[in-house]
Amino acid sequence: MVDAWYIAPAMALISIITGFYIHGFVKKQDPGTARMQFVAGAIKEGARAFLNRMYRTLGMFVAVMAVVLLLFLPHPIWATSNIMGNVTLAFAYVFGSVCSAIAGWLGMDVATDANLRSASAARDGITKAFTIAFRGGAVMGTSVIGLALAGVSILYFLTGDPNVILGFSFGASAMALFAKAGGGIFTKTADIGADLVGKVEMDLPEDDPRNPAVIADNVGDNVGDVAGMGADLYDSYVASLMAVMVLGQVLGGYLLDMPLVFAGLGALSSLIGIFAVRVGEGGDPGSVLNRGTYITVVLFMALSYAACTVLGYDVRFWGAATVGLIAGVVIGVTSDYFTSINRPPTRITAESSVTGPAITIITGFSYGLLSVFPPLVGIGLAAWIAYSVTETIGPGYGVYGIGVAAFGMLSIVGIVVASDSFGPIGDNAKGIAEQGGLDEKTIEILDSLDAAGNTSKAITKGFAIGAAGLTVISILAAFKEVAEAELGAAVAFDLMNPLVMLGALIGIAIPAVFSSQLMLGVGRNAFRMIEEVRRQFREIPGLREGKEGVVPDYAKCVDIATVGALKELLPASVSAIAVTLGVGFIFGVEALGGYLAGCIFSGLVFALLMSNAGGLWDNAKKYIEEGHLGGKGSDAHHAAVIGDTVGDPFKDTAGPSLNTLITVIGLVAHMFLPLFLLFSIF
Amino acid sequence: MVDAWYIAPAMALISIITGFYIHGFVKKQDPGTARMQFVAGAIKEGARAFLNRMYRTLGMFVAVMAVVLLLFLPHPIWATSNIMGNVTLAFAYVFGSVCSAIAGWLGMDVATDANLRSASAARDGITKAFTIAFRGGAVMGTSVIGLALAGVSILYFLTGDPNVILGFSFGASAMALFAKAGGGIFTKTADIGADLVGKVEMDLPEDDPRNPAVIADNVGDNVGDVAGMGADLYDSYVASLMAVMVLGQVLGGYLLDMPLVFAGLGALSSLIGIFAVRVGEGGDPGSVLNRGTYITVVLFMALSYAACTVLGYDVRFWGAATVGLIAGVVIGVTSDYFTSINRPPTRITAESSVTGPAITIITGFSYGLLSVFPPLVGIGLAAWIAYSVTETIGPGYGVYGIGVAAFGMLSIVGIVVASDSFGPIGDNAKGIAEQGGLDEKTIEILDSLDAAGNTSKAITKGFAIGAAGLTVISILAAFKEVAEAELGAAVAFDLMNPLVMLGALIGIAIPAVFSSQLMLGVGRNAFRMIEEVRRQFREIPGLREGKEGVVPDYAKCVDIATVGALKELLPASVSAIAVTLGVGFIFGVEALGGYLAGCIFSGLVFALLMSNAGGLWDNAKKYIEEGHLGGKGSDAHHAAVIGDTVGDPFKDTAGPSLNTLITVIGLVAHMFLPLFLLFSIF
């Protein structure tokens, strides 16, 4: 009989084929007018240029790191009889980053085909425009599932060793950190540059083709929200799969295969969910997107329960996965509460804008602080319930249960990524329509797609943050198991051990420092962009007046955003990794456990705070723009715009990079564990 | 031979006498013109009205809590043979809150005498004005030392039991939470009310006597920064003394007395430091204040070293105390770096104001995030070094060493409180001088006092935050010791125990939620104040024009600020205590340990972030007002004012209340421990 876990590679293949099928479907659609194609072409070219340059930078980083791995891990090459072990790990690492890169490329390429065609289809109504935008985004989802499961399955088939998958996961995480943080800096650099010079100084409307930074702004949505978010969830997905497999290996039996079976079923559920998402004329795309997620959740619960019955898995593992999944939904729903335009937090913040921008900021920030409570309690309860349910199976199973909960949350990653990628496609479509001069009604339809994207984004962000939290808790557990196995002694992360406390205190500072570096980087880079936009308006004759045939140098702006983003993200990423290694080598494994916990704690707090406050300010502004409290141009609107601008790097640069950061730190710690055990000072 | 620890009550007595002596000195000084006396009288009356009302509210809270303690602690009254134990603890609790209340009253009363006389003396130059303001503030310092050491000594003499001191400490902490959070809401309510209507709408200058909220604004400085800060440090001081004594009791020997000896020497050093602070004409009051702190630090190190030699204490304890003290200084210096007007973070934030308020906020917030790193690492290293040094004495001594480090940091609390209380007195003196119509030169001198107060504030805030962190770590240690003694089994706060993790995740949310409640409370209360100020301008004929003899209803504004502050702080305080009890009763002692650690972590992060970002924005504004980047009235100035307004509740309401919050939570957990052990569900 074929092993049950082969469902994972089978679904990987099906996902990839589905991706190509959707690509064909998108390509077949009407690409619109020449002007639209020109704009879309510039966006696509810019996005490719960014990814190209980023992959090159990342390539050097990966090459250096691969050599380090080859020489030192899992054991120093001079002190091991198994040199092939080092070769395999280094290969898995490179393989992981390449797979993630391919997934990002595929997803973004289709997204930048779909934006144009969605805009074009909107001329005939919402149904087709929505379908194109959503399916276009879904390719990012199918690519994530496909390349993650393919990579993991191949390595598992060849080696049967989840520790090799750790290398693969580490490769994906380096990619994710670069894509997410780099994309985040890129997108806000372009956004601020386009707004401050174009809108404020030159008084141009949003998405005006005369604005040299406008294409960079559109590119930013793709590299930040499509490729960045895709790489982030690819990373969490693989990491949680790896962690639960490492924990399963210790316990033996079917526990090593089961995660792959669940992953395959989650992929299947996501694919069905993706094709179930359709909207009729006059329908509400926002609720349709959420319905897709709910369908997938229910389907996965049913399929995984059936799998437990058929394959004889203990049903308590199904319980743990379900707990994780429910926690994900609950976190998403509370994020939605705090950021939705129809709820008190956003309304009250909008109302406080009447008293001026300072009160807008204080109020929105306060609600952001408040919003961290339900998700943190939810994550804590999910971990504890999953543990309590599975610990009754036997000692050691509880920790495995936490891993299953984390993985349960991520099992539906396909639909989550699809819903999330839908947002920037809708946003881009609107931009292309405006720059292409399409009519009011079309733009209105595309506006409703854009708004729906914002709603589903709150929920998917909640998922991403919750999943990262649970994943790193299970990485921490796996880290401990491996450390104990290597040391042959018990390892505890007892807070009364002052080394653990020291580690935790350093750890809680890291997400704050990382956020700070990214946001200061945005400021510096935006400054360069502003100078360039001003220069173009000054030096290109006829640009400002919109003379026929005069085109700004879009590529130069894309280039500045790209180079700056890579330049600014490197010190932040490298210093976070360096501090992690420093804590491990100086203070040892127990301090590192505290450090990881500290990173999780403050990473979650700041990710939730910044994402939710940012989303809330954005919607408070939109609420006023709908005509409330004086509407556009009023003092309240002016205040709300300032709130929104503060929120931009919160929600699009720093906040969402923190998930990735804590996963990367967890993987670095886990990866280098053997060396810490050999060489640490204390 | 007299016991060495009698130096503590002796110094308590000397401190109290010194306080009265200084009060006499201040009272002797020239109280200035009738107009000045009228203004100062209104401030004093308002401050007393606030304290009166707060003490009444607090009285009810204390009465209820005393009954709870009487019935349930240390053991349920129906299940103990030692009913006197319950009576003693309840008495100690009431005693603790009364002592803290008296200290607050004394300190604030003298501060509100000194402001007027400092303003008056400034007409003759800086030396006398400085001396009056500083000594006036020093009474808050001597009151804290005096009433803390007197109370602790009396209880220790009568019972010899540090657990009774826990009750005393718990009483002080309830007081501190009310005073700090209530004062913080009061001061910002009045500030925003005075600014938004008076300065912005009516175009009045700062401190204009026509502004109905101007007295409330001046009162706010006293109740927030004098009484509030005093109660806060009183609380930390007593709590750290209690924690180290509880830990010392387990180990026996001289370890129970030694903290009191160190406390007495610290008090002596502080008194000498206070009288060493003088400034000549043309001198820089800021550096003089810091010199006072350094003199005290060196003196305490010398005296405590001598005590170890003479009394035969192990010199490693001296080492632990010194580590704590050095950490305090280092934290203060780094806070100073991030907020000083002469350093890059403030300068760069000021420069970014040229691009508008959003960039001001993002930049300042980013530096605030960055500023958490050195103090957190400093606290972690201090705890670890103190532990490592003292653990070599024998098992169990390491944890005691952490307590000694915390207490070492707080040993010089006298000079710290004195320097801090100096700030609002200088600020008030300036206000009185302006409302009293004194000349430019006098106001310039008082301005330099005000600026010096801001500098020393950064350092003392660093101390307060660092001390609270180390103190709660040692409360956590004491909590664990007591739990183990009661249970007769080992207790561990292992992060891999999902209950500990759950507790930690809940704990890290609490400081965020608490901050949020306070800041939203400020917003609501400021709204009421704004309405009242507008009403007075509308309904009192001749007020706006400044007609001779027309006086606004200052008392009504003070009343609104008072009632609102108490109303807003109650839900925040009660819910934080309720969640603490909830975690203890539902999830048990180990979860509560994780919870406390979580509170420490996020409490420190947010306290540092908010205090430093707030201070930085304030100084960025001042930098522009000095004439840089376009000076007053420029766009950059406008942006910086918005930054400063955002920073106000950060640095004066939420940030500094968090020290108190984590101490209170630590004490609640410790206090109710016996009940958690009896009744918890999991």
- Neighbour count for residue A194 (Cβ, 10 Å): 28
Interface confidence, given as ipTM, is 0.94
Query: Which of A8-12, A48-52, A221-225, A573-577 comes out lowest in average pLDDT?
Result: A221-225
Among A334, A389, A496, most B C-beta atoms within 10 A, so best to mutate, is A496
In angstroms, the CA A152 to CA A12 distance is 10
Specify the residue for token string 């807070």: A495
Instruction: Return the residue of A nearest to B613 by Cα.
Output: A516
Tell me the whole-structure pTM to 2 decimals. 0.94
Distance from CA of B279 to the nearest CA of A (A): 38
Instruction: Check pLDDT > 50 for residue A358.
Output: yes
- What is the per-residue pLDDT across A187-229, written as a single tens digit (0 to 9) for each? 998 888 888 787 777 788 877 888 888 889 889 888 888 888 8
Is A663's pLDDT higher than 90?
A: yes
For the stretch A252-268, pLDDT in tens is 889 999 999 999 999 99
Chain B CB within 8 Å of residue A359 CB: yes
Nearest to A605 among B384, B387, B512 (CB): B512
Average pLDDT for B270-288: 87
Mark yes or no for CB contact B504/A402 under 8 Å.
no
Q: Which of residues 500-519 of A touch B (CB under 8 A)?
A: 500-506, 508-509, 512-513, 515-517, 519
Q: Where does the pLDDT of residue A159 fall: very low under 50, low under 70, confident under 90, or very high at 90 and above?
A: very high
CA-based nearest residue in chain B for residue A609: B512
How far from each other are the two terminal CA atoms of chain B, in whole angstroms?
51
Q: Left if phi > 0, otherwise alpha if psi is -120 to 50, otherwise beta: which for A502?
A: alpha
For residues B144-151, average pLDDT: 96
Contact list in B for residue A512 (CB cut-off 8 A) is 369-370, 372-373, 605, 609
Closest CA relative to residue B267, chosen from B234, B302, B296, B307 = B296
Taking the C-alpha atoms of residue B524 and residue B521, their distance in angstroms, rounded to an integer, is 5
Q: Element (H or E) spanning B307, and its range? A: helix B285-311
- Lowest-confidence range among B132-141, B172-181, B251-260, B285-294? B285-294
- Please report, rounded to a whole number, the percentage of residues in chain A having pLDDT higher than 70: 99
Q: Which of B372, B494, B602 sits opposite A494 (nearest CB)?
A: B494
Query: Taking CB atoms and an 8 Å limit, are A501 and B367 in contact across chains?
Result: no
- Give the pLDDT mean for B372-389: 95
**CA dihedral over B512, A367, B374, B459, signed as positive or negative:** negative
Q: What pLDDT, in 10s, does the model give residues B61-98?
A: 999 999 999 999 888 888 888 899 999 999 999 999 99
The sign of the dihedral angle between the CA atoms of B558, B560, B561, B567 is positive
Structure tokens at B421: 């209380």
The reply to whether B377 touches chain A by the CB within 8 Å rule is yes
Interface contact B516-A366, CB threshold 8 A: yes
- Phi then psi dihedrals of residue A125, to 5 deg: 125, 180
Cα A662 from Cα A507, distance rounded (Å): 10
Report the C-alpha gap between B105 and B102 in whole angstroms: 5
**Are residues B424 and B225 in contact, defined by beta-carbon separation less than 8 angstroms?**
yes
DSSP state of B652: I
Q: Is the pLDDT of residue A457 over 80?
A: no
User: Are A602 and B601 in contact (CB < 8 Å)?
Assistant: yes
Q: Which residue has the tokens 């978010």?
A: A229
Q: Report the 10 Å Cβ neighbour count for B85.
A: 18
Q: How far is CA B612 from the centre of its chain?
A: 15
Shortest CA distance to A572 belongs to which of A654, A668, A505, A506? A654
Distance of CA B287 to the CA centre of its chain: 22
Q: In the predicted model, what is the mean pLDDT of residues A558-584?
A: 92
Handedness of CA A456, A458, A463, A464 (dihedral sign): positive
How many CB pairs below 8 Å do chains A and B form together?
224
Please name the member of B493, B519, B527 whose beta carbon is closest to the beta carbon of A494.
B493
